[in-house]
Amino acid sequence: VSSLSFRRPAETDHARVVRLVHGWDGGRRLRRLAARSWFRHFTTTSWIVDEPDGRLVGFLIGYHAADDPEVAILHLIGVDQNRRRRGIGRQLVERFADEARAAGGRRLEAVAWPDDRAAVGFLTAVGFRPDAGPGSMRLYGTPAHPDFEGEGEDRVLLGRDL
């Protein structure tokens, strides 16, 4: 893990990230979140992790909310299936959190599908908590917001104070 390098994404990383995400079982949903615009216009708040030989190991796409300077959004994070459970995802989130805090951020937010146990489990492990406020109900054992993105599109809204 110590030989990994963390750097900013470039537009040329988009195709590699799409290939990585496409290889995952759940890739169909996540793939839509990896649009090329993120690799053109949000590179200064996002991260790429490479192996020494340049192989893509992981990425984090994030941004600071335009309407609230205290909030930073973790849009999408992913780690190569063969490199998981080694702390790389956590390192990506902590880098994002450190920069958000330094920029005046006080809170991180993320959104997940209620049936995505890996995403909810990971985000909870790195300090996010699901919003159980008004409008939420338990779905797949997690407080979630039904129809949040339209009919049948339930989501878990997660937040972490910085």
Q: Shortest distance, CB of residue 30 to ligand COA, whole angstroms?
A: 6
DSSP 103: T
Say if residues 60 and 47 touch (Cβ distance below 8 Å): yes
3-state secondary structure of 79: strand
Single out the residue of 10, 103, 125, 137 in contact with ligand COA (rule: CB under 6 A): 125
Single out the residue of 62, 122, 156, 157 in contact with ligand COA (rule: CB under 6 A): 122
Parallel, antiparallel or unpaired: strands 129-130 and 156-161: antiparallel
Single out the residue of 18, 31, 65, 84 in contact with ligand COA (rule: CB under 6 A): 84
Single out the residue of 121, 129, 140, 149 in contact with ligand COA (rule: CB under 6 A): 121
Torsion, Cα 146 148 153 157, to 10 degrees, reads -80
Nearer to ligand COA, 52 or 134 (CB): 52
Give burial (CB, 10 Å; 0-12/13-18/19+) of 8. Answer: exposed
Single out the residue of 8, 86, 129, 138 in contact with ligand COA (rule: CB under 6 A): 86
Q: Residues in the site for ligand COA, rule: CB under 6 A?
A: 24, 30, 76-79, 84-90, 110, 112, 116-119, 121-122, 125
